[in-house]
């Protein structure tokens, strides 16, 4: 895995530095360029962030065998992608080997990622309907909610920062998070077939069963994918069910369920027999610092401040 931070005074050198891309950048606005490029490239994925202080025309061919998504982070004026205007809530798609043309605005900051097509297709076949996959194959832009885009952007930027801070950061962790980010963006961008997820009763059932599984495996928290396997549903169906019923994602909701279980146990036991660390570990919280932070964020008090039985 390679990770770099580079600055350029020539947009062509900037373009050539993005590994795996056949492309040219032509500068349109006057003055010496001062561009920034941060990129992380693994065997089956790539994340890059670029800041261009000039108007630039980008033309080329997307990497073969990759699905590519790009999202503007800041725009002073509209950007043209494949001849169509995109805004700060747009995500642009390119399939492997596809030709592209972008007229980038001066001062544009862009965040992009690619994943190996075969890896994406393996999970997409389980996430999306055939109709949704057909839509994806002919879609150049997805419009998404600002909050979702902001969350995905921060997730990707955190990955880039982590790899820069630690040259031994596990490549599989970065690849997995990149792929999940791409699935999340596409999942929310092609909502043409929401009816197949079933009614509210089914969603409520899935949430209830997930909660029971989470508490039954309290010492070693069950993962979302393990819940999907137990309940024989897709990750997409489970996430939508949680959002419909609770307004929260499964991981967030089930963490809150376990925190509430900890609180009930603390209130029902005395400190001499059951320490906070023991109760926390009984419910799968192995990092006491993270546990205490989550506990205080939820209940507005430290675990040590919760009243105990006498």
Last residue of a domain, one of 147, 169, 189: 189
Which residue range is the domain that position 213 belongs to?
197-310
Q: How far is residue 57 from each of residues 26, 39, 69, 207, measured CA to CA in Å?
A: 5, 20, 18, 48
Which tokens sit at 279?
């109760």
Cα–Cα distance measured from residue 3 to residue 229, given in angstroms and rounded to the nearest whole number: 35
In CATH, what number is assigned to the domain containing residue 279? 1.10.10.60
Last residue of a domain, one of 130, 158, 189: 189
Do 163 and 142 lie in a common domain? yes
Containing 94, the helix (H) or strand (E) segment is: strand 90-95
Dihedral of CA atoms 80, 81, 83, 85 in degrees, nearest 10, equals -50
Higher pLDDT, 275 or 85: 275
Do 217 and 97 lie in a common domain? no
Do 80 and 133 lie in a common domain? yes
pLDDT digits (tens, 9 = 90+) for 248-306: 888 888 888 888 889 889 989 998 889 999 999 888 888 888 899 998 888 888 999 98
pLDDT digits (tens, 9 = 90+) for 133-182: 888 888 888 888 888 899 999 999 999 999 999 988 999 999 989 999 99
Do 158 and 33 lie in a common domain? yes
Do 95 and 234 lie in a common domain? no
DSSP state of 223: P
Helices 200-216 and 235-246 cross at an angle (nearest 10°) of 100
pLDDT digits (tens, 9 = 90+) for 200-212: 678 878 988 998 8
* Domain total in the chain: 2
Q: What is the pTM of this model?
A: 0.62
Cα–Cα distance measured from residue 222 to residue 244, given in angstroms and rounded to the nearest whole number: 21
Cα–Cα distance measured from residue 242 to residue 250, given in angstroms and rounded to the nearest whole number: 6
Q: Is 21 exposed, middle or buried (0-12, 13-18, 19+ CB in 10 A)?
A: buried
Do 146 and 104 lie in a common domain? yes
184 dihedral zone (left: phi>0; alpha: psi -120 to 50; beta): alpha
Do 21 and 60 lie in a common domain? yes
Do 154 and 228 lie in a common domain? no
Mean pLDDT of the 210-239 span: 85
pLDDT of residue 30: 81
Last residue of a domain, one of 134, 161, 189: 189
In CATH, what number is assigned to the domain containing residue 178? 2.60.120.10
Do 151 and 208 lie in a common domain? no
Do 231 and 184 lie in a common domain? no
CA pseudo-torsion sign 180, 239, 152, 254: negative
Helices 224-231 and 250-268 cross at an angle (nearest 10°) of 100
Do 220 and 178 lie in a common domain? no
Q: Is 260 exposed, middle or buried (0-12, 13-18, 19+ CB in 10 A)?
A: middle
pLDDT band at 188; cut points 50, 70, 90: confident
Cross-strand partners of 142:
91
pLDDT band at 191; cut points 50, 70, 90: low
């Amino acid at each position: 895995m390679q990770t770099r931070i580079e600055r350029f005074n020539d947009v062509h050198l900037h373009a050539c530095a993005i590994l795996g891309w056949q492309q040219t950048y032509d500068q349109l606005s006057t003055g010496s360029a001062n561009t920034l490029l941060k990129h992380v490239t693994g065997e089956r994925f790539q994340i890059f962030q670029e800041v261009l202080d000039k108007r630039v025309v980008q033309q080329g061919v997307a990497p073969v065998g990759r699905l590519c998504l790009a999202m503007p982070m800041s725009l002073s004026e509209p950007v043209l992608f494949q001849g169509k205007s995109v805004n700060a809530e747009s995500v642009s798609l390119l399939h492997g080997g596809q030709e592209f043309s972008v007229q980038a605005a001066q001062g544009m900051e862009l965040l992009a990622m690619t994943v190996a097509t075969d890896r994406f297709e393996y999970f997409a076949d389980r996430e999306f309907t055939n109709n949704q996959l057909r839509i994806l194959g002919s879609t150049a832009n997805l419009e998404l909610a600002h909050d979702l885009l902001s969350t995905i952007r921060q997730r990707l930027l955190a990955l880039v920062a982590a790899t820069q801070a630690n040259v031994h950061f596990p490549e599989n962790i970065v690849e997995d998070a990149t792929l999940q980010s791409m699935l999340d963006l596409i999942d929310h961008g092609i909502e043409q077939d929401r009816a197949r997820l079933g009614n509210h009763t089914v969603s409520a059932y899935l949430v209830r069963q997930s909660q029971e599984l989470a508490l039954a495996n309290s010492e070693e928290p069950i993962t979302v994918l393990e819940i999907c396997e137990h309940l024989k549903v897709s990750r997409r169906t489970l996430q939508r069910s949680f959002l419909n019923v609770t307004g929260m994602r499964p991981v967030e909701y089930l963490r809150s369920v376990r925190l509430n279980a900890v609180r009930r146990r603390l209130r029902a036991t005395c400190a001499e027999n059951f320490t906070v660390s023991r109760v926390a570990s009984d419910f799968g919280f192995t990092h006491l610092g993270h546990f205490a932070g989550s506990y205080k964020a939820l209940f507005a008090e430290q675990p040590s401040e919760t009243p105990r039985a006498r």
